[in-house]
Structure formats: C-alpha cells, structure tokens
Amino acid sequence: MPGTFEPLPGGGASVALDDVEISIIRSLAVQLLELIGPGPAEDTPADPLAELFAEGPSEPPSDPVLKRLFPDAYRDPETPGNPQEAAEQRAHSAEFRRYTENDLRAGKRENALAVIHSLNALTPGEGGLAELELTPAESQRWLGALNDLRLAIGSRLEITDEDDADDFYRLPDEDPRKPMVMAYLWLGGLQETLVSTLMP
C-alpha cells in the first residue's frame, strides 16, 4: 500500500487511494466512531450554555483503547509509598476529565466523521485509483483521526512506544496479528507524509 500524501499548491494535501485502501480506512474510522460512542441525542435541546457546563465522566474508561485515547491528565506517582499524593492526583484527574472528556470525544468523533465523508465523496479515476484532495483544515482533521486510529490499533497490539513496533516487522504471515500490524505501519506512513505536507 504505497499511497503517500503530497502537498497541494496553496496548501492542503492529496493522496491516491485504491478501493482496498479506501475500504480499510473507512472501516477503521467507523469502528473508531463506535468505540468513542454517540454524541448528544438529536432530541436534546440545543442550549449552548447547558452544553458548556455539561459534565462528563470522572472515572477513566475501562476499555484499554479508550484509556489510551482519553488518558488521565495527572498520572499516579511512579514512586510507591505516597498514598496521599496518589489520591490527590486521582482527584485532580477526575476533575479534569469531568470538564474536558466530552469535548475531547466530540473532537475525535468529528475527525473520524470527516474522514468517512471525504472517502464517501471519492470517485475512482484512471487505474482504479481515487485522488483524495484535502484542504489544510481537512488535513488537520485527517491527521487527528490517523493518530487516533494508530493509538487504538497500537493499544490492541500492546505497543507502548515506537521501538515495540520494530519487532512486528518480523512477524510471520500466519500470525493472526499480522493484518493489524500492517494497518498500523501503513497508517503510520500516511500520518508521517501528511505531517510533512503541513510543514512550512
């Protein structure tokens, strides 16, 4: 899957994608949406003031992928033996989460939806490839979604840093993790080339 983003004159980025690549990214974005969960119900009255002060969850998610996507703002101290400091950090994390997680979820949801909508608008061109062209704002949305997808896949693969990913290059083809690893590495390449198009 050699598709890489190229800068567009005047800003933005483009990449040629085939049907398989489009299907993979769309499927992953839909799964990410399902994992993040729905937004406010459609019948909820639109009250910007109420939304501003709406409280989110105070406890971290139980799903390891969601924990990676919505980490604690304050981590427990790494040195044991200080339960008071640990309790204070948990309280600060809960407070921070209560007032930020709803907005974080909405942003991640919007990024994933932007990816799906832009893929749905594509039409195959010559050689079965579709040319995806993104504005600078759309590029930022794609960048956020690609990052979230890699975090989600990396969490499922138990990758804690990029050095862990090196071991996956040597996985045999029959390893059941191989397709997920290939998606992780390919999305990393897309993410890296998209970042390069946004550099001044």
Q: What is the pLDDT of residues 116-162, one digit of tens each?
A: 999 999 987 777 899 999 999 999 999 999 999 999 999 998 887 76
Which amino acid is located at 35 in the chain? L
- Delimit the domains of the chain by residue range: 6-40+102-198
Q: What is the pTM of this model?
A: 0.81
Q: Would the pLDDT of 34 be above 50?
A: yes
Q: What is the pLDDT of residues 64-122, one digit of tens each?
A: 888 888 887 766 545 455 777 777 777 777 777 777 778 888 999 999 999 999 999 99
With a CB cutoff of 8 Å and minimum separation 6, the contacts of 178 are 171, 172
Where does residue 17 rank: exposed (0-12), middle (13-18), buried (19+ CB within 10 A)? buried
Report the chain's terminal Cα–Cα distance, integer Å.
Answer: 27
